[in-house]
Structure formats: C-alpha cells, structure tokens
Chains A and B, each alone.
Chain A
C-alpha cells in the first residue's frame, strides 16, 4: 500500500534548534497523498503548515531538523538524504511557488534566464533549447508576448505576471508534486482568482499533485480534494473537503469556519473571531494545543493530549469534546 503514495509522511517530528531552545514545530504529523491529488493545509501563522510542506523537499532552514518519523516522497526517504541528493529532486520532482512573487524572483536576471536555469538544471536542454522551453512554459502559464517577456526583468512585470513566472519555473521539469505556499496571498483579489484557475487548469493538463498551503478557506474549498487543518504543529483535523466544510469536528475548525464572511445569507451577523494568541512552541502546552483559546474547553483538555478519532473514511479529528459528545450520543444519554 505504502508505495502507492506520492507523499507519505509518518509521525514526523521536526524541531528548530534556536539559541532560546528547541522549537517543536511539528509534532507527529502524518500525511498521505496519492499522485494527482490536491491537499490543502490550513492553519494560522506558525501552525506548521509551511514547515510540513517544505520538509518534503528538505527546504527547512538550516537549524530545522527532522527528529522523528519518516518523510517519504516519490520513493525517496527525505529524512536520510544529503543536500546534494535533495538538489536533484528539488525543482525536478517537486517544485514550490512562494507567497510573494515580488521578492521571489532574482531582480538582476531576466525572466528567461531564470526559467531556463530551472530547465537546464534537471534536463538535457541547455542554452537555446532551454530558452525555447522557457518560452513554451510562459505560453503554458498564459503570459502574452513570451518572446518579449523572456528578455524582461522581474521589476518590469506586474505581481500576477510574476506569480505566473514563478509557476512557470516550478513547472519547468513537470514535477509530480507542486507545493503552493500561499500563492495568492500577496495578490489582488481578481488576480487571485486567475492564478487559482490557472493552477487548476495546469493540474488537469499535467496531472501533478498539489499541496496548497493557505489560511484562506475559500481557496481550499474550490481547489482541494483533502484538507488538513493544522494547529500548533499538529494536524487537528483531516478529511475530504466536504467533511471539513459540512461536518467539522474540531473546535478550531469550527472556529475557522465561523470566521468566514457569509455574503449570501440574509442575516448579517458579526463575524466570530478566535480569541487569544497562538501557542508558544518553545513550551508547548501539556494537553490540547488549542485548549487555552477554546470556548468549550474542558478541564481534561488542559491535561490530556487528544488522540485521533475517526468519523468515517479518512476523516479524523483530535478533540476530546467531540469524543465526549460522541460517547454521550452513542450511549443514548440524551442531548448533547
């Protein structure tokens, strides 16, 4: 079974070793993903969503180390690979597009040069052939006048165009997996939609898997097959998109859904924010990571780490309250 997965992360623990101590960024994160699937990772800043995805290509900062578990990608055991071996996969089998296209392109080299570089690094196409491929890629991502763009510098393009260029670079070697780290956060709303449409189109055309990192639930709803909700370095809820949107089990997921504006509904009630601060991963809490901010927090939540509890299919959540409610429901002791 296991070899069928494109990405198979098992109980990954990853820590950053800082002067202040060990920051436990990921705690027993498991993700399985088949080829061509789209997985959304949702969570707030510092919840570990980017780190999870970066660790698939060994791209975490130098002081970040996988301290437990396994990260398997396309048959490679990432946690055992050297930087040199990782270089062969990066940009080849797995690519990434970053949040800010304004700063993610090198300002002193032309677009053509930067795309062609990605092409020639992992294929036999060098020089002219790489440039031709770069032009092809620009056409693929929907940039007009590709011949002219090849000679332009990043500062001569708009934000949306630059993000398209970033996508072109990422697709240079037709990767099996594309990691999109908040690809639309820095863009205008109209451009956001265009970029998302483009990504969906390309996915159909090229059949690659996508990991979509975002804090925008609207983005995941329209694109993803599966969603992982992360909080404090853990996946607190995982399921299909329908599971998460129509049958959320974790209090944090429910909170996230409550904080989306609903424009189609008649009652314009105020949005419900999630109060409090994200947890300090230098000193993670003993119990549920979300407990200190949870409106329905029980005493036990502060003491005991909740285990996975399955709700049909792949859908699981780590929430003691939900477990209690389920227990009461099943034992027929009336309302919850």
Chain B
C-alpha cells in the first residue's frame, strides 16, 4: 500500500505539471489581457503595469519564472485583487466552498444511495417508477433553475430561509440542496442499475436460502457489492462539489472559490487562473487516489499494486 501511494504521488506530480504547462500556454493564446478592460489607461501606465507583473517578457521567460515560483510554493500575486497573493485568496475562498460542497456531498450520498437501492428492490413497482421519474427530472433540471425555484418557494413565498449570503445555519440549507440535487439523483440511478445487477447474482440467492431478511440482504449482502460504481463517481464529484459551483455561488451570493474561478478567467487574472486550475487539478487527483484506496477497503478482491 505505501509503495502504491508513493507511485501514485509521483504520477500525480507529473500530471499536475502537465496541467500547469498546458493551462499556462492555452491561457496566453486566448486574446485579451488583464488590463484591457480598464478605462483610459495610458500606454505608459499599461507598460508599467505589464512590467510589474512580468508580462512584458517573452512567454518562455514568463513560463520559467512562474514554474520556478510554483516549485517554491509561490502562486504569485493576483492582478485584479491588488496586494493579495493567489494563495491567500484560495485560502479564504476554498473553505467556504468546501463546507457547502461537503455538506451537499453527504446529503447526496445519504439520499441517492438508499433511493437507488429501494428502487431496485421494488423493480417495476410504483415506488421504482416514482424514483425513476424523480431522478430523471432531477438530472435534467439545471442548477440555476432549481436554485431559483428554491429561492422562490422558501424565500419569496414561505419567508423561511434567507436567499443571500452565509449568515447563519439556515442560509446553508438552500445552496446545499441546490448543489446536492444533481449528484443525489445521479447516484440513485447508478445505484439502481448496479443494485439490479447484484440482485441477480448467485450469492443473493444464497442469502435468501439462508433465511436472511430483505432489509439485511439489501444492506449487508447487496449494498457493499453494488456501491463500487458510486464510489468511482464520488472522486470527481467530491472535487467538483468542494471547489464550488459558479452558478450556485452566484445565485446565493456566496463568496466561494467557484465564482472566483470563473470571474478570474473573464478578467484574465493570469496568476489567479493558474493558481485555481492547479489547485483544482491537484484536488481531483488526490480525491481519485482516495477513491482507489477506498475500493480496496470495500472490495477485498481489489489489490493495490
């Protein structure tokens, strides 16, 4: 196991390096620059600013400078948010997104997995059809619509929940639900099909022949076998939920990493783009490693080599 993790760590570093390199050059190929939107900038002022951030140097030089900084853990300065480093911004924004994303993940798993299991065990019956219809709708409805609907019902009509910001516990409810909706229903579908597959297996018949109750045969014998596809999905899901959703953060006015990521791209805040992309990539890589390790714990047949 430690050897496996070391191997994966080295591969992850290579991946992160490639991501950084590609992002750097693709980013610079996109037309525009960080100072174009600013009004009435004199050529001298622009040249001075470009010089300050090193944008006047040849691209290769910029690249080597950035990568050297990165190796020393320096993500550079944000161009748009004067005086703050990229690392500082991420350190402030990420926990906000991670908290909401983490809660959404827990909610999604706790609803999606049982829903799928219950649907499978009631195959063809009313409950199954209901869950299929609900989950199809849940997957099809985009998050800006579900968020708006939530705000309409809970804030405008019922006056139960605040629609903006993160002041108290109540303000977490709607963003968490909005974020959890899609993954929850997606997992329900995954779980249902994999559960149906497992239910046809011989060992489920053995369980039945032993006199095991339906409840126990679902939760002991079927679930652990059926949950592997869900765990696979969990890795990328965890990364995407915890790094924030642009739409949900915009609608509920949450100062998270998701909205930061999109706005830094539109404003060509080069160091921010690099920083957030690399952060995201590393996060995805680490989550996938966790998933692979989790595999070995769930299914004893999987050996990590």
Contact = CB atoms under 8 A, between A and B. Distances in A.
B208 A90 contact: yes
A254 interface: no
Interface string B266-304: 000000000000000000000000000000001111000
Nearest to A105: B203
Contacts of B208: 59, 90
Given A106-B221, A106-B225, A107-B225, A121 B203 contact: no
Contacts of B205: 59, 98, 104
B206 A89 contact: no
Interface residues of A, number: 28
A122 B202 contact: no
Interface in B175-213: 201-203, 205-213
Contact of A108 (B202, B212, B213, B300): B300
Contacts of B220: 109, 117
Interface string A106-137: 11110000000110011000000000000000
B300 A98 contact: no
Contact of B211 (A92, A155, A166): A92
Given A103-B201, A106-B221, A169 B206 contact: yes
B61 interface: no
Given A88-B211, A117-B212, A104 B206 contact: yes
A106 B203 contact: yes
A107 B209 contact: no
Interface in A73-91: 86-91
A153 interface: yes
A225 interface: no
Interface in B128-183: none
Interface in A36-78: 57, 59
B214 to A, nearest CB: 8
Contact of A169 (B210, B298, B300, B301): B210
Contact of B300 (A95, A104, A118, A153): A153
B162 to A, nearest CB: 45
Contact of A106 (B206, B213, B298): B206
Contacts of A91: 209-211
A107 B221 contact: no
Contacts of A155: 300-301
A96 B209 CA distance: 7
A11 interface: no
B195 to A, nearest CB: 14
Given A153-B301, A155-B300, A155-B301, A106 B211 contact: no
Contacts of A118: 210
Given A98-B202, A100-B202, A117-B212, A106 B207 contact: yes
Contacts of A86: 211
A203 B224 CA distance: 35
Contacts of B300: 107-108, 153, 155
A98 B206 contact: yes
Contacts of B203: 103-107
A108 B298 CA distance: 7
Given A100-B202, A103-B203, A108 B224 contact: yes
A118 B225 CA distance: 19
A122 B300 CA distance: 28
B122 to A, nearest CB: 12
Q: Sort A-B residue pairs by CB-CB distance and give the 5 closest, nearest first.
A: A90-B211, A91-B210, A103-B202, A91-B211, A106-B203
Interface of A: 57, 59, 86-92, 95-96, 98, 100, 103-109, 117-118, 121-122, 153, 155, 166, 169
9 contacts: A89-B211, A96-B209, A103-B202, A103-B203, A104-B206, A107-B300, A108-B299, A108-B300, A109-B220
Given A95-B209, A103-B202, 5 more contacts: A86-B211, A90-B208, A104-B203, A109-B220, A117-B210
